[in-house]
Amino acid sequence: MKTAYDPRHKNRVTLVQHLFSAQFQQKPDNMVKPIWKKLSEIDPLISDAAPEWPLDKLNPIDLAILRLAVYELAIDKNAPYKVIIDEAIELAKEFGSANSPGFINGALGKLVKDQKIDQNES
């Protein structure tokens, strides 16, 4: 069972915190540079998955969570999509607003369906 002390979860928490910070500084640190360099691929996928929410209108923590999850789903591909979505929802519960978990779940679910991301259990 996953806990808040799971090293993978703790790593994702740190990555989201660094992505959140980088949004305001416009300068990512080394921890999130690989993700930041792919924003030109990640952000359009987020926009397509949540067209009613322009990126500049999204809650900054939701955007950071989505950027990490989309990076893991579409570029990194080292975890099953269900794990990535579950982790993103947990991060949204931990750091976002009351509406964040549902929004994150809906956007990522649409992304997986529309982009035909490999839905096989890895």
Vertex 23: Cα angle to 22 and 28 (nearest 5): 25
Q: Cα–Cα distance between 90 and 77 in angstroms, integer?
A: 19
Q: Cα–Cα distance between 48 and 58 in angstroms, integer?
A: 13
Give residue 4's pLDDT.
64
Give residue 87's pLDDT.
96
* Band (116; pLDDT cuts 50, 70, 90): confident
User: What does the pLDDT look like over 17-46, one tens digit per residue?
Assistant: 999 999 999 889 999 999 999 999 999 999
Give residue 66's pLDDT.
98
Give residue 119's pLDDT.
55
CATH classification code of 7-114: 1.10.940.10
Q: Where are the chain's structural domains?
A: 7-114
C-alpha dist (Å) from residue 56 to 43, 62, 66 = 11, 11, 13
Looking at residue 92, its amino acid is A
Is the pTM for the entire model greater than 0.85?
yes
User: What does the pLDDT look like over 68-111, one tens digit per residue?
Assistant: 999 999 999 999 999 999 999 999 999 999 999 999 999 999 99
Give residue 3's pLDDT.
64
Give residue 1's pLDDT.
43
